[in-house]
Amino acid sequence: MFAVIRMTFWRAVKDAVTCSTKCVRQRQRDIEWVLRMAEYKHGEMDVSENEKTFDGFMKFTTWSVIVILVIIVGMAIFIT
């Protein structure tokens, strides 16, 4: 009985130490990320890929709306 309690205690201690070590490492990674973000200068990033993606999204959205309107108009004409 005492051995089981002792094993459970040491397992709890080990888990607590492991958790605190993981938490410290995660906190350090978070701080490093914030510091990297603080080094960002507005206007220095190449946004050509972002612009291409946005243009593609806008073309897709425009054509989708046109197709939907054609379907609705077609339904209004031929179903009624």
Q: What is the pLDDT of residue 41?
A: 73
Tokens 């005492």 belong to 2
**Where are the chain's structural domains?**
1-43, 46-80
Distance CA(57)–CA(64), nearest Å, equals: 10
Residue range 68-72: average pLDDT? 97
SS3 44: coil
SS3 40: coil
Tokens of 21: 């070590």
pLDDT digits (tens, 9 = 90+) for 15-60: 666 666 777 788 888 878 777 776 767 777 788 999 999 999 999 9
Name the phi and psi angles at 40, rounded to 5: -65, 135
- In the Cβ-directed half-sphere of 41, how many Cα atoms lie within 13 Å? 1
Is the model more confident about 8 or about 5? 8
